[in-house]
Amino acid sequence: MNLAEGVQLVSFGILSAAVLLSALGVVLLKNVVYSAFLLGGSFISIAGLYFLLNADFVAAAQVLVYVGAINVLILFAIMLVNKDEEYAEVKGSSVRQAATALVCLGLFALLGTMVVSTPWAISSETAAGNDSIVTIGIHFFTDFLLPFELVSVLLLMALIGAIVLARREFIPEIRGVDGQDDALMLPERQREMVSSSSSEMK
């Protein structure tokens, strides 16, 4: 993608502002649903920055993996476990916030130093455009084949673990029916069932 220099500068400014504002919203907002949506906006803005750098494959992977998979997974997790309740203030939260701010400032200073000290001159021999996809594919299936397959196995293990943890121990609507309590319990997570009479008394 070849854009005029002015268009590139304006696009870079807009995308950079979107990344920074959405990232601040993720950290500062107390509503986790809004934070999750702003996280998706930050991911999309980063994909736009990749697109400005002619890294079209990385931009597409950013949208597909981070926005289409990870961010959607975070939203589903929030919608499944989020409850409308007031959270009590944690003792010593100001100390934790100050420590977090200090760590963030340290990381910002480190990244800023790296940005200033790195030579950003682009070589004329650097592959750009569609040639980058071919280069990434060659490296994936030659030099980095073993780590690529190990990551896929690791993700499969994480998926199986998530399925095991998400299984329900019983179905509340039909709990208490004779002969069905044992069938609805997971064999690896045996627990005492609360009788229907005691639950009604509570």
Cβ-based burial of 40 (10 A; exposed 0-12, middle 13-18, buried ≥19): buried
Question: Which pTM value belongs to this model?
Answer: 0.60
Over the range 80-116, which residues count as b (16 or more CB within 10 Å of their CB) and which as e?
A: eeeeeeeeeeeeeeeeeeeeeeeeeeeeeeeeeeeee
**Measured between alpha carbons, how far is 20 from 23 in angstroms, rounded to an integer?**
5
Taking only the tens of pLDDT, the chain with its 202 residues reads 556 778 888 999 999 999 999 999 998 888 888 999 999 999 999 999 998 888 888 898 899 988 888 888 888 888 777 666 565 667 777 888 889 889 989 999 999 999 899 887 765 555 455 577 788 888 888 888 888 889 889 888 888 887 777 665 544 554 444 544 454 454 544 455 555 555 555 5
Question: Which domains are present in the chain?
Answer: 1-83 (1.20.120.1200), 144-190 (no CATH)
